[in-house]
Amino acid sequence: MAFTREEILNRLHEQIKQGRAIVGAGAGTGISAKCAQNGKVDMIIIYNSGRYRMAGRGSLAGLLPYGDANAIVVEMAREVLPIATDTPVLAGVCGTDPFREIKYFIRDLKHMGFSGVQNFPTVGLIDGTFRQNLEETGMGYDLEVEMIREAHNQDMFTAPYVFSVEDAIKMTKAGADVLVAHMGLTTKGSIGAHTAKTLDDCVPIVQAIHDAAIKVNPTEVAITNQVKTFKKLKI
């Protein structure tokens, strides 16, 4: 069942008032979505990497040319949406997809029953010369910002990944409801990475992202994909 943007925000702000962590869970199958819902997560997100993880591959497979990211999400929706009836489900949208008119794709996702969107796969995970070349050739992060802006205009809940203060300001101005400060690939489990920032490294970065966002929108919610970081944040 789709939830309105207002309903989701009311839920999240109530969680914050109660001093409880906001938890979003990625789901790659119907059974994982069902388990997440039974665990009372605040939102479920489905994206192409979830499917690859269920195949025993690392999350970064979602950034490589192994499939049509947006088509995979639509395929996964048929499995997850009918199961997750009590929890908002967000679609991971590849905002740089050159073969879709994002305005109409988001409209279709909303009609399917998605409650919101997140920018994944995201070029924010890419750095160096390759990232610079993506930006220079019209496949950069600003397209993801515009995707979030369009989803906001269509009154969908938005929870984009951000990687810097600059990203946070752009996404907040685009109308993002929740910023997810991405601190790197998961390092646990059988398919996790071995190289990552320490939690102490993450704290000032997430704090700076939070502080920049609330200067633009005092009601902005900022969370992180490194859950333990919450203990040291001043939010």
pLDDT at 186: 66
Q: Break the chain into its structural domains and give their ranges.
A: 5-232
Q: Are 16 and 127 in contact (CB under 8 A)?
A: no
| Alpha-carbon gap, residue 174 to 67, rounded angstroms | 29
Tell me which range, 13-17, 91-95, 178-182, is most confidently predicted by mean pLDDT.
91-95
Second-level CATH architecture of 5-232: Alpha-Beta Barrel (3.20)
Query: Is 134 exposed, middle or buried (CB count within 10 Å of its CB: 0-12, 13-18, 19+)?
Result: middle
User: Please, which pLDDT band fits residue 232 given cuts at 50, 70 and 90?
Assistant: very low
Asked if 157 and 113 touch (Cβ cutoff 8 Å), the reply is: no
Task: Look at the pTM and tell me if it is higher than 0.85.
Answer: yes
Q: At residue 137, does pLDDT exceed 90? A: yes
pLDDT tens-digit readout, 78-94: 999 999 999 999 999 99
